[in-house]
Structure 1
């Protein structure tokens, strides 16, 4: 399983790039999963719905399923969030895992950098950034990938050597 991160400042286009990478990876006959890290709370269901009521009543886990999908919600109830390694163990076997967020995680990552956003690049301070995807001509000491060409980005990910 190849694990690769997509990092960048909020609003840089991480989700948009991941959304474009997924069909490019699956078109090559590979299975892909995504771990998305949120820095703020989120909720998948709505107040009043059964699963919400079960969690509010104190259930640690609620598994919802239908003909189309299933989801397992786990309430931390004050415990620390699982490490990235623990999260990876929860995933079904696949060929590629894309990690959105987790800027500091010790996995190779592509930084999305858009100079027009006025934010500094992450790569000078982040040793895990191994390439930069941008929509501008930027000067950096690592491979620069065309942000709007998901096939090139996927090929870089697939060709990147596994960590030893």
Structure 2
């Protein structure tokens, strides 16, 4: 399974890019998973529902299954956030995992950058950045506009040797 990060600061367009890129990757026959890191408390369950009530009562994990999907909620209960490698090990087999977040990880990544946000560049300080998407970088580096989905798609397939 290949791993590619989509890294950048909040508001740069990472989620929108993934949303637009995923159908292209899937159309090519790839099985794609996404790992999304959030720095906020995430609630995927509805308060008052049975699975939410089970967690509130002290369950460390609740697996909710339905005819269309299942989800596993694991309470950290004060433990440290798991490392990316630990999360990747929990995924079902797939061809490609796109990672949104974990911008300081040591995995290959594409940097999504917008000058208007006033945030620093991840590259050249991060040798794992393969290309910049968005505003042009100040020094030579592969670069694609965020709307150039054909070129981004081709770059991913070529770079990760997935053709």
Give the TM bin, normalised by the shorter chain. over 0.9
Offset at 1:139?
3.0
Q: 1:84 to 1:148 in 2, by over 3 A?
A: same
Residue 51 of structure 2 is aligned to residue 55 of structure 1: no
CA offsets 1:60-115 (integer angstroms, 9 cap, x no match): 11011111111011111111222111111111111110000101111111111112
CA offsets 1:36-61 (integer angstroms, 9 cap, x no match): 00112111012211111100111011
Q: Would the aligned equivalents of 2:130 and 2:142 in 1 still touch at CA under 8 Å?
A: yes
Give 2:100's aligned residue. 100
Give 1:33's aligned residue. 33
Q: Would the aligned equivalents of 2:2 and 2:160 in 1 still touch at CA under 8 Å?
A: no
Offset at 1:2?
1.1
Give 1:141's aligned residue. 140
Offset at 1:120?
2.5
Structure 1 residue runs of 4 or more that deviate by more than 6 Å after TM superposition: none
Q: 1:116 to 1:95 in 2, by over 3 A?
A: same
* Paired residue total: 161
Give 2:121's aligned residue. 121
RMSD value over aligned CA atoms? 1.4
In structure 2, C-alpha distance between the alignment counterparts of 1:154 and 1:96, rounded to whole Å: 13
Q: Would the aligned equivalents of 1:4 and 1:107 in 2 still touch at CA under 8 Å?
A: yes
Give 2:8's aligned residue. 8
Offset at 1:117?
2.6
In structure 2, C-alpha distance between the alignment counterparts of 1:144 and 1:69, rounded to whole Å: 37
Offset at 1:161?
4.7
**Normalised by the size of structure 1, how large is the TM-score?**
0.92
Gaps of 5+ in 1: none
